[in-house]
Structure 1
Amino acid sequence: MTIPARLPRFRGTLHDPRTATVAGRLLGIAVLLCFLTGLISHYLQEPPALFSGHLPTRPVSGYRVTQGLHIVSGIAAVPLLLVKLWTVYPQLFQWPPVRSVAHALERLSIAVLVAGTLLELFIGLLNTVQWYPWPFGFRQVHWALAWVITGSLLIHLGVKAPTIAQYWRRRARPLPVPGGAAGAAGADDTNRTAPDGSDVDADADRRALVWGLAAAVGAVTLVTAGQSVTPLKDLALLSPRDPDAGPQGLPVNRTAHAAGISRAAVRNWRLYVGGPRPYELTLRQLRAMPQHSVELPIACVEGWSKSAHWEGVRIRDLLARAGVEDGARLRIVSLETRGGYGVTEMDSAYTRDGLTLLALRLNGQVLSPDHGYPARVIAPDRPGVLQTKWVTRLEVLA
């Protein structure tokens, strides 16, 4: 195969199948972890009818752990992806660029895989800082891209399976340098060869690359994971959220002002509870009911989380008073006039759980306006976007 003179020649020892396989399996672990925890996040936010009544409420910090892993693995995937692309980018300069229909389909699947993964990580990183400079809905596109990436990755693994199997553990022999003997002069002459035929210098370079990659992944993890991993919070220099910063010692994603909560709406607040015997309560009446205390975390999709002390009335007690004895699916309506989660639904697995409260107090104080005064939902193992604030109606669903 003759390579046109205008194409670049690559003399690096690490643009080889062995290095690509090493980087690829590390990236694969991060992508798999990110995908699986993303599934959990999606299905807890939009549970299929099949899961009705069976959503997990234990462990109470389950969503905190899985969403934290989702963000951490997504951030760790960035340097892993960059190194993987660096090992294989000389393949972009193959000549001829397409050798057959099958080869064209292979390169197309790789293009989809690379473009989809880069876009997925890019919009995911911007989501952690709640910046959405695009016209489409983040969550829907993020979900769809995950499946596009998974499909193209499976195709890529199928095509490359023989190469991956060959270089999974075996050391790679040095590859010929494009351009013939003249191009190789001075590039391979000094390489040392081990008894098994492997390139000793390439192996040393590869180990250095892997250690450098581990350091990069470790660094980005240490300086960002503290927003959800409490022991690392003092190292979270690049975390978009400080879990200790906020009213009553808890961060706020959206303030009362941003949600359009007026003083008049709060001043005339009533809680409506539906059921066979529907009723309304004033705040004074709600406070007169038996109060319960729980220690539960708030865990948001952006990756930050923190445990807090909550006090309020159990949802199941409110429903029992309305004639619903064993929990029910609820539609929860907020006073907010701006935002995407003014109306949410709660599965019966949560409403029958004794830890699920209509909270009135946070960390020993009456809820601040930004934390949902006069009343908000708090439930175990539930995404933060569904822990509805400024609740005004609990409507029983069939």
Structure 2
Amino acid sequence: MKRLPVPDEERFTAAAHSPRVTARVGLWLAITFTTCFVTGLLSHLIQHPPEWFLWPSRPIWLYRVTQGLHVVAGVASIPLLLAKLWSVYPKLFGKPLVRSIPHAVERLSILVLSAAAFFELTTGLLNVAQNYPWTFYFPQVHYAVAWVAIGSILVHIAVKLPVIRRALTRRPADDPEPPSAGLSRRGFLRTTWLTAGVSVVATAGATVPLLRNVSGLSWRTGNGTQGLPVNRTATAAGVVQAAQATTWQLSVVTSAGTRTFSLAELRALPQTTAELPIACVEGWSQSAIWRGVAFPTLLTAVGAQPGATVRVSSLERSGLYGVSVLPGEHTADALTLLALELNGEVLDLDHGFPCRIIAPSRPGVLQTKWVSKLEVW
């Protein structure tokens, strides 16, 4: 088999391979990747909160925005990463492989950065499409590799800082860009920005309602049962029989004891109607009209204090999110509902009948469906 020739760095003289191009694309890639990291870290902390972490219930759209930014920034990072790698492609095969200790650190950081970035973007893209061709637990692995990626970015920037500073300095008017074959530096950069922009517009409709009709590659729309998409059906959760049983009751456990409510008794309590978005970790979000019992009302009815932490248990026993915890910031909020209706109709079975949690500024995976028990701490 004929071996492919190793690229000769001296033959790649196009403007696309200049340090000025690499630095500018790298700057934007650093911005999108940092946005991804920070918003992803927030999502992780909301789902697995340490004692010191506080996530507010207002504004109601806060998680919708942060997680939407997470996915949009990830999509924009894909063409930026490819453009960045193309701009340094000849240097990846430069000889000798190691010239000095800083050079060795630089090459190692590039290797780790490239591998971690490709892993994060590829698995993230498959996750938003709900396609899981792997056996590992995605949230934990994605979170761990994110730290590797951001760490390698910081190392790479530290090593290349002098080169980056020179490359980002505006070229003097008496020192024009040297002629080269192919696209000019500005042409390559414009093409990169355009590609990244098209990628975002083509997919952002999943989280930006104004773009929903023009995002041809959006993975979620407003279509679905009761006008809302469904990630996990009642059949998949194995709760159909238990949720439809006439003997279903909600148990509310407090320090004073346990009180049970039938569905009719829940409906007899004062009801609150609110328009709230449901925002999924995959980046899609959709607003809907919910009606049910506000948590302050429910807690007061059982003699508990609004603002107490509440452990929520679902009829679903085998799922990863069959149990969630509502912090005090949310149980004190009058817009946190034990929802009984959706868009003017009784909750569909796939949306959590007989009742579900809908709280402002919370990930969809924590908006527990098919609720069976509430434990007040």
Q: TM-score, length-normalised on structure 2? A: 0.94
For the structure 1 residues 203 and 196, does the alpha-carbon distance in structure 2 shift closer, same or farther, using more than 3 Å as the test?
Answer: farther
1:250 is aligned to 228
What is the rounded CA distance, in whole Å, between the counterparts of 2:79 and 2:7 in structure 1?
Answer: 27
Alignment length, in residue pairs?
369
Cα distance in 1 for residues equivalent to 2:362 and 2:7:
54
Alignment of 1:274-293 (within 5 A): 274-277=253-256, 278-293=258-273
Q: In the TM superposition, what is the alpha-carbon distance from 1:250 to its structure 2 partner? A: 0.5
Say if 1:14 and 1:202, in contact at 8 Å, map to a contact too.
no
Tell me by how many angstroms 1:223 deviates.
1.1
Aligned letter for 1:132? Answer: Y
Residue number in structure 2 paired with 1:187: none
Tell me, yes or no, if structure 1 residue 221 matches structure 2 residue 223: no
Partner of 1:59: 59
Task: Show structure 2 runs of 5+ residues with no match.
Answer: none
SS at match of 2:232: coil
Q: Tell me which residue corresponds to 1:341.
A: 321
- How far the C-alpha of 1:246 sits from its partner, in A, is 0.6
RMSD (CA atoms): 1.8
Render the CA deviation track for 1:283-318: whole Å, top value 9, x for unaligned: 011111111111100000111101110000011222
- 1:13–1:202: 8 Å Cα contact kept in structure 2? yes
Aligned position for 2:351? 371
In structure 2, relative to structure 1, the CA distance for the partners of 1:247 and 1:394 (3 Å cut) is same
**Contact 1:171 / 1:203 at 8 angstroms: preserved in 2?**
no
- Cα 1:125–1:57 change in 2 (3 A) is same
- Note the alpha carbon deviations across 1:20-79, whole angstroms, 9 max, x for none: 11111111111121112112211111111113xx42011100000111111001000000
Corresponding residue for 2:214?
235
Match for residue 78 of structure 1? 78
**1:43-58 correspondence to structure 2 within 5 Å:** 43-51=45-53, 54-58=54-58
Cα 1:201–1:12, aligned 2, differ >3 Å: closer, same or farther?
closer
Residues 1:61 and 1:103: Cα distance change in structure 2 (over 3 Å): same
Partners of 1:32 and 1:203 lie apart in 2 by: 31
Residue 69 of structure 1: aligned partner: 69
- Describe the SS at the equivalent of 1:327: coil
Residue 35 of structure 1: aligned partner: 37
Aligned CA distance change for structure 1 residues 203 and 24 (closer, same or farther; 3 Å) = farther
Alignment of 1:1-398 (within 5 A): 8=8, 9-51=11-53, 54-171=54-171, 195-199=174-178, 205-242=184-221, 244-267=222-245, 268-277=247-256, 278-397=258-377
Q: Answer with 1 or 2: which has the greater Rg.
A: 1
For 1:363 and 1:45, locate their aligned partners in 2 and report how far apart those are by CA, in whole Å: 27
In structure 2, relative to structure 1, the CA distance for the partners of 1:386 and 1:264 (3 Å cut) is: closer
Amino acid aligned to 1:367: L
Give distance in 2, aligned partners of 1:282 and 1:303: 35
Instruction: Name the CA distance, whole Å, in 1 between partners of 2:188 and 2:55.
Output: 43
Change (3 A) 1:213 1:6: closer
Alignment check: 8 A CA contact 2:243 2:353 kept: no
> Secondary structure in 2 aligned to 1:295?
strand
Letter in 2 for 1:79: P
The residue type equivalent to 2:277 in the other structure is P
Q: 1:359 corresponds to which letter in structure 2?
A: A
Q: Which moved more, 1:11-20 or 1:373-382?
A: 11-20
Q: How many Å separate the matches in 1 of 2:146 and 2:324?
A: 25
CA contact under 8 A between 1:332 and 1:343: conserved in structure 2?
A: yes
User: What is the distance in 2 between the residues matched to 1:280 and 1:77?
Assistant: 50
CA distance in structure 1 between the aligned counterparts of 2:156 and 2:114, rounded to whole angstroms: 11
Taking the aligned partners of 1:250 and 1:217, their CA distance within structure 2 comes to 29
How far apart in 2 are the matches of 1:15 and 1:147? 29
* Structure 1 residue 213 displacement after superposition: 1.2
- Hey, what's the Cα distance between the residues in 2 that align with 1:13 and 1:207? 9
Any idea what SS the aligned residue of 1:337 has? Answer: coil
Classify the secondary structure of the residue corresponding to 1:36: helix
Contact 2:243 2:370 in 1 (8 A): no
One-letter amino acid of the structure 2 residue matched with residue 379 of structure 1? A
Of 153-162 and 334-343, more deviation after overlay is shown by 334-343
- Seen in structure 2, the aligned counterparts of structure 1 residues 165 and 371 have a Cα distance that, compared at 3 Å, is same
The answer as to whether partners of 1:258 and 1:338 remain within 8 angstroms in 2 is: no
Q: Do the aligned partners of 1:273 and 1:318 also contact (CA within 8 Å) in 2?
A: no
| Identical pairs, percent | 51
Please report how far the alpha carbon of residue 137 of structure 1 lies from its aligned counterpart in structure 2 after TM superposition.
Answer: 0.9
Question: Distance in 2 between the 1:204 and 1:6 partners?
Answer: 23
Question: How far is 1:264 from its partner?
Answer: 4.2
SS in 1 for 2:236: coil
Cα distance, 1:222 vs. partner?
1.1
1:315 maps to a residue whose letter is F
TM-score by length of 1: 0.89
SS, match of residue 133 in structure 2: coil
Please state how far the C-alpha of 1:99 moved relative to its aligned partner: 1.5
User: In the alignment, residue 390 of structure 1 is paired with which amino acid?
Assistant: W
The structural deviation recorded for 1:265 is 4.5
